[in-house]
Amino acid sequence: AGPSIMIDTVSLFQQIYPDATFQIHEMRPAEILPSVSQEQYSLAIGGEPEDSFHFFIKKAQKLGLIIEPLYVDPFVIFLSPFNQLSKQETLSLADILDEPFASYNDFFLHQINPYCQFRNIFGFSDQESIKKMIADNKAISFFPKSLIHKDFYSESELIVYRCLTDYHLNLVHYILYQPELSIQEQFAISCIKKVYENYL
């Protein structure tokens, strides 16, 4: 989930609980289900590719957890406005495969064609470094479109996005939580849902 979604959620929550203290932990998608099932965290927001989301729901339910989809988020190509490709309304795979590509070290798209065909891949452990590479016109990347929501790089027009015409991937944002929650945790879930409704 984008950082701005969390900022909006905390702001909404603090309207009722102004003295609340938050601990928000960022983790890789593969770590979310075990962390909540082992009661390390009581609730989480995550994203799962649309084609595997049905299986993910079944895994969560087998573990006794509750999971609800929040938003279907299309992936798009992010690039610098100084990149020549930004002059095109849309892009194809043929347009981008020769471009330097920045992503997470363990990003799942590295294992999925056609992204393993990139000739020059930079791996990072954090999103900020990837966005800086894009803004500096040193790489492009493939991210959910929600990344632009209240994002400094996007609002400052340091990064733009283009849709791919011949490859489509959606990410389903979801909320995952334990069946027994405190009143405050239940309210946090309602805040998260409200923020996503506003985003939509």
- Give the pLDDT of residue 148: 83
Q: Give residue-wise pLDDT tens across range 17-70.
A: 999 888 888 888 889 999 999 999 999 999 898 989 999 999 999 999 999 999
| Averaged pLDDT, 163-190 | 93
What does DSSP say about strands 170-177 and 66-79: parallel, antiparallel, or unpaired? antiparallel
- Give the pLDDT of residue 110: 47
**How much of the chain, in percent, has pLDDT values that exceed 90?**
60
- Give the pLDDT of residue 112: 52
Higher-confidence residue: 125 or 116? 125
In 3D space, the residue among 29, 27, 24, 63 whose CA is nearest the CA of residue 48 turns out to be 29
